[in-house]
Amino acid sequence: MDDITSRQDEIDRKLATEKGRKQGIEEERASEKQREGRKAGWGTGIKIVIFLIVLAIIVTVVAFLTMSVSVTNVSASESSPFTTNYGVSFPEGQTITIGNTHISVLSYRDELISDIDGNRQKLVVGDNRVISERRAVITTLGGITLMDTHFQINLKYNGDRENRAYFDMAVHTSQQVPDLLLKQLLPAEIAARPI
């Protein structure tokens, strides 16, 4: 009987061992599937994040490229508590447009003749010239308004050299305007740099 019992115990052990081995293989396969599923989830998540970042960059670039400024005269004046200062230089003899204002300058000896919308004035170093208040509406993407502000420009003549007239320019606005948007109003020909 002991022999039968020991054989039965041995068979039971072999069966238990085989069952344990099969269970271990199944658990390993299940664990591997979970790891693969997590990897696939991370891959999908990373792809979504990259897609959103690329989409945000594209929308930003398109918004910047479609930005436009519309400048009109104003009938009622507004307070302009915000000021941004630039150093600018105007090329002599060339008409420059800031918004809807046309400006040309020409130096002669120690004087500068400035023409702003047909109104001529002689300036010497240290003299000021004011461009009257205007309204600027900055839009993007075909009509989304980014900014609607009144502005006035003061120019202080600093002299000329190499056929360029140099000014300190103060732009007074009714709202705080980010430099990026304000530069949309200023043409590249005047080489505006913040001071």
Please write the tens of the pLDDT for every residue from 84-142: 999 999 999 899 988 788 999 998 877 899 999 899 999 999 999 998 888 888 888 88
Domain that holds residue 78: 68-194
Q: Are residues 112 and 39 in the same domain?
A: no
Pick from 133, 132, 89: nearest CA to 112: 89
Question: Which of the listed residues 65, 87, 117 is the one where a domain comes to its end?
Answer: 65
Q: Are residues 170 and 76 in the same domain?
A: yes
E strand or H helix that includes residue 176: none
Q: Are residues 39 and 103 in the same domain?
A: no
Q: Are residues 60 and 144 in the same domain?
A: no
Q: Are residues 111 and 141 in the same domain?
A: yes
Q: Are residues 75 and 148 in the same domain?
A: yes
For 100, phi then psi, to 5°, come to -115, 20
For 195, the token pair is: 């001071």
Q: For 9-67, what is each residue's pLDDT tens digit?
A: 778 788 878 887 888 888 888 877 777 666 655 667 788 899 999 999 999 888 888 88
E strand or H helix that includes residue 160: strand 144-161
DSSP string, 65-108: HT-EEEEEE-SS-----EEEEEEEEEETT--EEETTEEEEEEEE
Q: Are residues 30 and 91 in the same domain?
A: no
Distance CA 156, CA 168 (A): 5
How many domains does one find in the chain? 2
